[in-house]
């Protein structure tokens, strides 16, 4: 089955710096890669996602890149702010339904943005 | 309405109690999920309902019993739980199975 590895487990940056979180997946049939942000005591929230037919997607200060050949995808946050501090989870799935299809989460990255 | 609503927010129960967790969404989503999350860990899938039918049961012990009365509601019935079942229980929904999950705020469950 699918396995998703995520690194680093913790990341501390200064406000205004960039942060990069990396994930590797094992199943080459996976084609949908979302990222979730979970603030302390809150629900996970989808912040950006990418499908395997594109290599990069941006939304303001957040971008995701996908390398299908290497089975890597990464989250990039520029100009970090204290409110970016949270746990970030990557995930992978085969997408588009299917009765046995499920989202496999990475182990999470605790991002701390120091003011 | 873009919310998934879960009740109760907190629950403390003894090992002999029976309780239910409730989840509701009015986004017209056809897939609904129960996840269990321990502190500092990713959400762990328990059950998936697609079009009101159970499509995935991740070998969850029978002391957890899901129910999907209609396309907007999802329940999780709890009976004879163990202390190790203490966790945050998250409900989620999506338009189709595995697509863009919207999570509820969860029920923090403590089993004494």
User: Using the beta-carbon criterion (under 8 Å), do B100 and A45 form an inter-chain contact?
Assistant: no
- Among B4, B27, B99, B107, the residue to mutate for chain A (most A Cβ within 10 A): B99
Kindly state the DSSP code that residue B85 receives in the 8-state scheme.
Answer: G
Rounded distance, CA B33 to CA B54, Å? 10
Rounded distance, CA B43 to CA A42, Å? 13
Comparing A10 with B16, the larger pLDDT belongs to A10
Judged by DSSP in three states, A68 sits in coil
Q: Concatenated DSSP letters for B59-77?
A: S--TTEEEEEEETTEEEEE
- Find the CB nearest B99 among A87, A95, A108: A95
Rounded distance, CA B73 to CA B23, Å? 6
pLDDT of residue A81: 97
A93 touches chain B (CB under 8 A): yes
- Find the CB nearest B96 among A43, A96, A105: A96
What is the mean pLDDT of the segment spanning B97-103?
87
Rounded distance, CA B21 to CA B25, Å? 14
Rounded distance, CA A100 to CA B71, Å? 19
Kindly state the DSSP code that residue A9 receives in the 8-state scheme.
Answer: S
A99 touches chain B (CB under 8 A): yes
Show pLDDT as tens, one digit a residue, over chain A (115 residues): 789 999 999 999 999 999 999 999 999 999 999 999 999 999 999 999 999 888 999 999 999 999 999 999 999 999 999 999 999 999 999 866 577 788 999 999 999 999 9
- Chain B partners within 8 Å of A97 (Cβ): 31, 50, 96-99
- Answer for the pair A102, B46: CB distance below 8 angstroms, yes or no: no
Tens of pLDDT, residues B76-96:
999 999 999 999 999 999 998
User: Using the beta-carbon criterion (under 8 Å), do A97 and B96 form an inter-chain contact?
Assistant: yes
Taking the mean position of all CA atoms in its chain, how far away is CA A58? 13
User: What is the average pLDDT score of chain B?
Assistant: 94
pLDDT of residue B97: 82
Rounded distance, CA B82 to CA B110, Å? 10
User: Using the beta-carbon criterion (under 8 Å), do A43 and B43 form an inter-chain contact?
Assistant: no
pLDDT of residue B1: 64
């Amino acid at each position: 089955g699918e396995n998703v590895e995520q690194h680093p487990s913790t990341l501390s940056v200064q406000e205004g710096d960039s942060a990069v979180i990396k994930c590797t997946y094992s199943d080459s049939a996976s084609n949908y890669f979302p990222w979730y942000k979970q603030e302390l005591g809150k629900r996970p929230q989808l912040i950006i996602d990418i499908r395997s037919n594109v290599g990069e997607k941006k939304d303001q200060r957040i971008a995701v890149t996908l390398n299908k050949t290497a089975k890597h995808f990464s989250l990039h946050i520029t100009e970090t702010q204290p409110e970016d501090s949270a746990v970030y989870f990557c995930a992978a799935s085969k997408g588009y339904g299917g009765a046995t299809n499920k989202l496999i989460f990475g182990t999470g990255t605790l991002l701390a943005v120091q003011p | 309405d873009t919310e998934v609503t879960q009740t109760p927010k907190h629950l403390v129960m003894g090992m002999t109690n029976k309780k239910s967790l409730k989840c509701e969404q009015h986004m017209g989503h056809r897939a609904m999920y129960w996840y269990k999350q321990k502190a500092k860990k990713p959400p762990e899938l328990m059950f998936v309902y697609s079009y009101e039918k159970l499509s995935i049961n991740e070998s969850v012990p029978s002391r957890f019993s899901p129910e999907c009365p209609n396309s907007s509601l999802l329940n999780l019935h709890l009976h004879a739980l163990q202390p190790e079942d203490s966790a945050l229980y998250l409900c989620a929904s999506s338009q189709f199975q595995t697509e863009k999950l919207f999570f509820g705020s969860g029920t923090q469950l403590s089993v004494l």
